[in-house]
Amino acid sequence: MREYLLNGVKKIGLEYTDKKIDNLIKYFDYLVEYNKHTNLTAIRDLQDAMEKHFLDSLLLEKLLLEKKCKKAIDIGTGAGFPGMVLAIFNPDIQFVLMDSVGKKTTFLQLVKEMLSLDNVTVVNSRAEDYINEENRETFDIGLCRGVNKLNVILEYMIPFIKVNGVFLAQKMVGTEEEDQSENALKILGSKIVTVHRYELPNYRDERLVVEVLKESSTDKKYPRRAGVALKKPL
C-alpha cells in the first residue's frame, strides 16, 4: 500500500518525507490487524481504507498549513481520522485526539507509543466533560469528520477554539447542514466563511470541508451538559 499512498499524496500535491510515509504505513498496517479483533472502523477493502480514511484526512493538510496551526483538537476522532493522520504529517503541531469510546482511544494510545508521537495527546472523554478553564478557547483549529449534524457538533467544538481560530468540519455532499446551523453559529459567535470542495485523489468521490471562523468569545454556558446538544440543538 506504500506506493498507493505515495501516489495519492503526490496527486493532492503535498510535500512529504520518507519517515512520514513510513509512519502512515505502520499506522495503516496496525489498524488493519487490530480491526480484526476489535471493531474500530469499516475496512472491507484495503485500497478503500487507504483512500477513504488516510488520503481523505490528508485533504485537510494544505488548510492546516495555510492557517499556521500550532494546536488542534479532533473531536470524535474514532480510529484517528483525520487527527492521527495529520499528527503524523505535522510533528510540529500539537494535537488532542478525543473520543468517548474507550476501545478507540486505547488503540490510539498504542499508535502514539508505537510511533513515539510527542505531539499527540489522546483523551477518552465527551467534549462536554473535558472542557475547562485551562483548555477553553486555546486551540487554533478544530477538526471533526462526519460526527453528528453541524448544528450539534458546533456546540461541542466552538468553545475549544480561540477567537479568530477555525473549525474545519468534514461533511457529506448534499446534506445542506450549513443552512440549518445559522442559529447555532450566531449564538456561538461564529460564521461560515467558505465551503471547500475536494475530490479524493484516486476516486471521483467529492468531499466538503466547511470552514467556520470564530469571531467572538463563546458564552461559558456552552457546551451544555452531556446529551443536551444532541436532544435540543441550538
Per residue in 22-62, pLDDT tens?
Answer: 999 999 999 999 999 999 988 889 999 999 999 999 999 99
Q: How many domains does the chain have?
A: 1
User: What's residue 176's pLDDT?
Assistant: 66
How would you label 146-166 residue by residue, b for 16+ Cβ within 10 Å and e otherwise? ebbebbbbbbbbbbbbbeebb
Q: CB under 8 Å to 92, separation ≥6 — which residues?
A: 70, 119
Confidence of residue 197 (pLDDT cuts 50, 70, 90): very high
Q: Please report, for the domain that includes residue 132, its CATH number.
A: 3.40.50.150
Of the candidates 164, 163, 142, the residue with the CA atom closest to the CA atom of residue 153: 142
Q: Which residues lie closer than 8 Å to 43 by C-beta, 6 or more apart?
A: 31, 32, 35, 49
pLDDT of residue 173: 73
Q: How many CB atoms lie within 10 A of CB 202?
A: 14
Domain that holds residue 20: 2-231
pTM of the model: 0.95
CB-based contacts of 44, cutoff 8 Å, min separation 6: none
Closest Cα partner for 4 from 39, 41, 52?
Answer: 52
Calpha distance 70→121 (Å, rounded): 14
